[in-house]
A and B are shown apart, each in its own frame.
Chain A
Amino acid sequence: MSLTEQELATLKERAASIRCQIADVTGWSGGAHIGGSLSMVDILTLLYWKYLRIDPANPAWEDRDRFVLSKGHGGVGHAVVLAERGYFDKAALREFNETGSMLGMHLDSNKVPGCDASTGSMGHGLSQAVGMALGARVLKKEWRVFCMIGDGESNEGSIWEAAMAAAHYKLDNLIVIQDRNHLMIDGPTEEVMSLEPLPDKWRAFGFETREVNGHDLPALAEAFEFAIAHKGSPVMLVCDTIKGKGVEFMEGKPEWHYGGLNAEQIAKAKASIENKG
C-alpha cells in the first residue's frame, strides 16, 4: 500500500482544511472558480505533500519538480495549496482578486512564489510543461514535470499538439493529470463537446494511460507511483472527479463553475466538507 494509515488520515485532514480555505477565499474575493478548484484538491494535496520534490523556502530551486496548472482557472485552489504548503503568508489570500494584490483569478508566475507557469487561457500549460520536460533532458536534469489539465480544456487543439510532441519525444519525465470533472461552463462535457472515449484518445496519442478515482487517495497514490516509475513514454492519469467535491450543494452543478459565497453559504459549505471528512 502506497499510503500508511497515518499518512492517509493527515492527507484527508489537510484536504478538508484546503477545501474550507477555498470557501473562505471565495467569500472574501467576491467570487472564484470554486467548482473546478474543489475537484482537484485531493490530487494537489497528495502531490504537494508527498510526491513533488520541492522546497517552499527556495521556490526557484533549479532541480525542483515542476507543477503546471494548465487549467489556470483553478488558481484559487492552487493559491490556497501554495499558501498552506508554506510558499507565502496566508494573509495574501485575504487580498485575493484585490487591485494590485499578488493573487488574482489566474496566478502570475512572476508574482506568486511556487507558481511555475502563468496560465489561464485554456490549452497553454501543457505546451509549457512539454518545454520544461524537454529542458530537463537537454540539461541532463532529473526533475519531473506534473501538469494538470481540465477536461473542458481538452477541447483545445493545442492540447493535442502538445500531446503529440510529448509522445514523439518520449517524455517519460512528464506526468499529465486530467481533472475529469465532467462539467464545463455551459454544461456536461459530453453535451457541449464530446470527449469520450477520452482515455482511449490519450492511449492512441502515445500516452501510458491509467484511469483512477481522483478523490481516492490510496488509489491516486498508487497511480502516481506507477507514473513516476514508468519509462519510455509520458503518462496520463485520467482522474475521475466531481466538480464542487466536498460541498454537497455544489457537487455536480455546472452553475458552481464560478460563484461567490455569503457568510451563511460559507458556513454551510464548511459543515458539508467537515461532515464528509
Chain B
Amino acid sequence: METASTLTWTIYDADKMTQREIYGLVLTDLGRQHPKIVGLSADLAKSTKIGTFGDAYPDRFFNFGIAEQNMFGAAAGLAKAGLIPFVSTMSAFASMRACEFVRTDICYQNLNVKIIATHGGMSFGSGGSTHHANEDLSIIRAFPNLTVVAPADTIETALAVKKCMDIQGPVYIRIGRGFEPRIYESEEYGFEIGKAHELRSGTDITIIATGNTVFHAVQAADIMNKNSGLSVRVLNMHTLKPIDQDAVLKALVETRRLLTVEDHSVIGGLGSAVADVIAASGKGCAFNKLGVPDTFCPHGNPEDLMHMYKIDTDGIIETVGELMQRDFEEDEDWEDEV
C-alpha cells in the first residue's frame, strides 16, 4: 500500500496540474509498486503524459508510433503475457480509430488493460471534430466487460487511476485536456467505481453530471440553492458503466425531476444511460439531457463550445428553470412501487 510520503505528487500538485499531468505522476507511482504495469503510447507520450512513466521505467514503456490499432492489439497480447498495460491516447482514437481492437482483442477476451483516453468530449476545442470525442461513451458503453469512468477533476483522476487496479478486466478512463477546475479538496470522500457521489443534497431536482461538467453542475446548484429557493441535488456520476442505478432511482423518487449534463453527444452517453434506468422504472418524471446535439460542432475554445451547448453553469441554470416548469404525471402510489 502506498502512503502519502511515497507519492511523488501531492494535493498541492492536484491544484496546479491538469488531469493528464496527475495521471502521469500517479501511474509512475503505481509503476513502482506494480512491476507488471507497462505503458503504451502512440506518439502521444508527451501529450498524454504517459511519458512520465516512460522516463521512470524505460524498459516497461513502448511507443507504437501513430498506429493505434496495433497498439491496442499489442496491449491485449501484453495482458495475455501477464502484464498490466496502461494504454494512452486521445479519446477519439481509442474509441474510434482503434474501436474494434478495443472491443474484440481487449473486451471480448476480458483482458486486464487500462485505457487512459485523454482529450474527452470537446476538451480539445481548437482541434475540431477530428479531435473531438463526442461519441466515445456511446460506442464503448456497448462493449461487454468494460468499466467506463470519467473523473470530474484531478483528485478524482488520481483515485480512478489507482482504483482501476482493483478491477480484473478492462477499464476506460476518460479525462480531459487539462484546465479542469478542481472540485474535491482531498481524496477522502469515499470514491468508489460504480457508485455516484452526491456533491449537493436537494429535494426539488437532481443534476446528474460526469467528467468536466460536474464542476458546472455544482456551481449552478450553489447559485440556485442560494438565490432561487430551489433545493438542487448534484450527483457526480463518474462511472458511466456500470451505471449506479440505485442513485438514479433514489433521485427519481426523491426529486422527480432530473437533468443530465455531459461533454458528449446526447445520443448514447450519460443521458441515455440514465434514461434507460428511468424508463425501466416505469415512473413519470421531468427529464432532460444536456450535451452536444446530433451535430458536428465547430472548433473553438472549449469554454465557448460548452456555453454554446449549455453544458456550463449558465446553461444548466437555464435548463433547470425550464425543467421546473414542466408537468409530469405522478402515480398516486409512486413511492410504493419503487
Contact = CB atoms under 8 A, between A and B. Distances in A.
Genuine A/B complex? yes
Interface of A: 62, 66, 108-110, 116-118, 120-121, 123-124, 126-136, 138-139, 141, 157-158, 161-162, 164-165, 168-169
A162 B59 contact: no
A128 B73 contact: yes
B109 A127 contact: no
Given A128-B76, A158-B70, A161-B70, A118 B109 contact: yes
B48 to A, nearest CB: 18
Contacts of A123: 69
Interchain residue pairs A-B with the least CB separation, the first 10: A131-B77, A127-B73, A135-B81, A161-B70, A131-B74, A161-B67, A128-B77, A131-B78, A132-B77, A158-B69
Contacts of A162: 70, 73-74
Contacts of B38: 138
23 contacts: A62-B82, A66-B80, A117-B109, A118-B104, A127-B69, A127-B70, A127-B101, A128-B105, A131-B74, A131-B78, A132-B77, A134-B78, A135-B80, A135-B81, A138-B59, A138-B78, A139-B83, A157-B69, A158-B67, A158-B101, A162-B70, A165-B74, A168-B65
A165 B67 contact: yes
A120 B85 CA distance: 23
B69 A131 contact: no
A106 to B, nearest CB: 10
Given A116-B80, A165-B74, 12 more contacts: A66-B80, A118-B109, A126-B73, A128-B74, A128-B80, A131-B77, A131-B79, A132-B81, A135-B82, A157-B69, A161-B67, A169-B62
Nearest to B68: A161
A226 B161 CA distance: 44
Interface string B192-234: 0000000000000000000000000000000000000000000
A118 to B, nearest CB: 5
A139 to B, nearest CB: 7
Contacts of B309: none
Which residue, A108, A121, A127, A165, has most C-beta atoms of chain B within 10 A?
A: A127
A164 to B, nearest CB: 7
Contacts of A121: 100, 104
Contacts of A126: 73
